[in-house]
Amino acid sequence: MAISLFAAKAIVQMYGLDMARRQGVSVESFPEHVLQQSTTDNSELEALAKEWGVNGAAFNKGMMSQMQQNPDDTTSDCYVDTAASNVELIVLSDFTAYTLGGFDAATFFELFKIWNIKYLQ
């Protein structure tokens, strides 16, 4: 899956390189040291959307871990499915990756449907 640098960074920071690769995120196109850096943006709306996406993914990950018998288990199907859902949530919140280079309602709803399917799994 080809995604923006922001989304790749957020996913790597939350799950690490191995899980990002297992979820199909093409992190090889970015240097590893760049993936570890935080992102900055000049658009307040884009920054807010990204922050909500990353915080939503972190909240989702936390809820998932507390519903497992062993909250530290990173090999369960639940953990892997949550990672897949969170990848889509972070991609959804990255407006710069949209076709028009900014917020586009049609693209948002298409990505929202993809995320919703992953979330329900």
User: What values do phi and psi take at 25, rounded to 5?
Assistant: -80, 125
The rounded Cα 86 to chain-centroid distance in angstroms is: 5
Calculate the average pLDDT of the chain: 81
Q: Count CB-CB contacts under 10 A for residue 52.
A: 13
> Whole-angstrom Cα distance, residue 106 to residue 103?
9
User: What values do phi and psi take at 51, rounded to 5?
Assistant: -65, -45
pLDDT at 91 over 90: no
| Whole-structure pTM value | 0.66
Give residues with Cβ within 8 angstroms of 97, minimum separation 6: 3, 4, 6, 7, 91
Structure tokens at 4: 């923006």
Q: What angle do CA 102, 103, 106 make, to 5 degrees?
A: 125
Over residues 16-30, the mean pLDDT reads: 77
Residues in the chain: 121
Give per-residue pLDDT as tens, 31-83.
776 666 555 544 677 788 889 999 999 999 999 999 989 988 889 999 999 99
